[in-house]
Amino acid sequence: MAKNKVLLSKDLLFTVNNCIFVFQIWDTAGQERFQSLGVAFYRGADCCVLVYDVTAPTTFKTMDSWRDEFLIQASPRDPENFPFVVLGNKIDLENRQVTTKRAQAWCQSKNNIPYFETSAKEAINVDQAFQTIARNALKQESVETYDFPDQIKLTDRPVSSSDGCSC
């Protein structure tokens, strides 16, 4: 039975040096029907995460088009240096089709995009990937004077009015 995929949005909280940042994550599940919504969702983005399925080569082959479409729709000030992160997901499955070497070569050819192999199901490398995503997004926001710690705490809870920082 085929799964119905929908556009998902999730707010994640990141705590960095006692300052809380809310990250809004939009998941298009690689569906073409959501590409037309790009301008509304991509504009103002501080980082773009490209995810492919290591067991499905077609998802890897579409990475160029998703990256290019993002850059067109988002119109970042400096497209050559806009922060992307690539996740090769489903490494917990045995029928891998896209090699680590191939994915790393693609990332290297695109201005050394950070690359992580993950399993959302088994929570492998997910925290590390999101720490990099958060760090790159915060840098994109021109927080040059901010002292980034080695660890960024991920929180999945609502923001309360008492949350705050002196950043």
Q: Which residues pair with 154 in a beta bridge?
A: 14
* Domain-wise residue ranges, the chain: 41-142
Q: What is the mean pLDDT of residues 59-85?
A: 92
Residue 113 has pLDDT above 90, yes or no: yes
Q: Which has more pLDDT, 127 or 71?
A: 71
Q: What is the pLDDT of residues 82-107, one digit of tens each?
A: 999 999 999 999 999 999 999 999 99
Across 102-120, b (16+ Cβ under 10 Å) vs e yields ebbebbeeeeebbbbbbbe
Residue 15 to residue 18: CA distance in whole angstroms: 6
pTM beyond 0.85: the answer is: no
Q: What is the pLDDT of residues 5-39, one digit of tens each?
A: 444 455 677 676 666 777 777 766 655 655 556 56
Question: Domain 41-142, what fold?
Answer: Rossmann fold (3.40.50)
Residue 85 to residue 23: CA distance in whole angstroms: 15
Alpha helices by DSSP H, listed for the chain, are 38-42, 57-61, 63-74, 100-109, 126-140
